[in-house]
Copies of this chain bind each other. A is one copy, B any other.
């Protein structure tokens, strides 16, 4: 874990070394992914009218890291490794919910592509995307209701409600920021917390609730997820500008071209001299400028202001808070191993 904690931008992190033998009933990440895919294949949106359900199947089939359902399964498995199938309704619910947000967010952002494929509103139209998204949100609740365990069910729904609402609030903040020029770093961190991190925390929280974990363990897992989620998003900001083009999967510099007020830009505005600030704000308002030139010049200025290092420090601050919560959970280190692996996988994505 030391190695993981000392993770620096541009440095490959080592796999944590554990002294315990792994629990043989625990599934590893690739086994968990297989279980998820199998469950999803068995639960297509198969009703009529097909115009409503085909887009839902389409977006669910586009893949992705399946981060949220994996977190739900990992959390469940930490406390009840032998009954993993019980956790599937929770895992599927958070994945369907996440995909619902993608469908609606893509309309709002007018995004043409998602995971390299046409977005739902591009492939069909906006009306279809709105309504299919709606039915996916309902389907997420339906999945949750499949959970066997009446005593945990109402709590699961309450957590899900809270998280779902917060994700909407985060998306609204994100849209508000587009037309504001006085966004603070604190507001930005709150926005990414709501839009991205609470669902990661909630996925772990719900997995742990489903498994009947102790209150303190539930809280610590939730806090781990929320803080690691903020770290993930900060890493995403870093990689969008400073990542390895061969590894990142998206075009480097996209945020700069779109004038997105990421942590990097907000920090740069905060650190800049009045002259630098004026220049940066000039770039942020220029839409006619040559894209590559804009990326090159803004990136150079960010480097000059030592923004990659400052962003990495902020990312590591949240990662350390996250690991602090994980440390407090009273289970063997090996049972936390999958969470370290996932953190490594996401944070070291540039390598």
Residues in B neighbouring A172, C-beta threshold 8 A: 49, 51-52, 131
Size class of the A contact interface (CB-based, 8 Å):
35 or more
Q: Does A165 contact B (CB under 8 A)?
A: yes
A297 within 8 A of B: no
| Chain B residues closer than 8 Å to A108, beta-carbon distance | 127, 130-131
List the B residue with the shortest CB-CB distance to A127: B108
**Chain B residue nearest in CB terms to A147:** B154
Main secondary structure of the interface of A (DSSP, over half): helix
Cβ-defined contact, B104 with A131, below 8 A: yes
Which of the 9-residue segments A138-146, A210-218, A322-330 touches chain B? A138-146
> A137 contacts the other chain (Cβ, under 8 Å)?
yes
A161–B176 touching, CB < 8 Å: no
A156-168 interface code vs B (CB 8 A; 1 in, 0 out): 0110010011001
* A137 and B139 contact, Cβ closer than 8 Å, known pairs A48-B169, A52-B169: no
Instruction: Kindly state the separation between the CA atoms of A48 and B48 in the bound complex, as whole angstroms.
Output: 38
In angstroms, how far is the closest chain B Cβ from the Cβ of A105?
9
How far, in angstroms, from A172 to B127 measured CA to CA in the complex?
Answer: 9
| Known contacts A51-B176, A130-B107: A142-B161 contact under CB 8 Å | yes
Give 16 A-B pairs besides A104-B130, A138-B165 with Cβ atoms closer than 8 angstroms: A48-B169, A49-B172, A51-B175, A52-B168, A126-B126, A127-B175, A130-B130, A133-B134, A138-B164, A139-B165, A142-B165, A145-B157, A145-B158, A150-B154, A154-B154, A157-B157
Ranked nearest first, the 4 interchain pairs of A and B with the lowest CB-CB distance are A52-B172, A135-B168, A108-B127, A138-B164
24 residue pairs bridging A and B, Cβ less than 8 Å apart: A49-B172, A49-B173, A51-B176, A52-B168, A52-B169, A104-B130, A104-B131, A108-B131, A126-B126, A127-B175, A131-B168, A131-B172, A131-B175, A135-B165, A135-B168, A135-B169, A137-B138, A138-B165, A141-B141, A141-B161, A142-B161, A150-B154, A153-B154, A157-B157
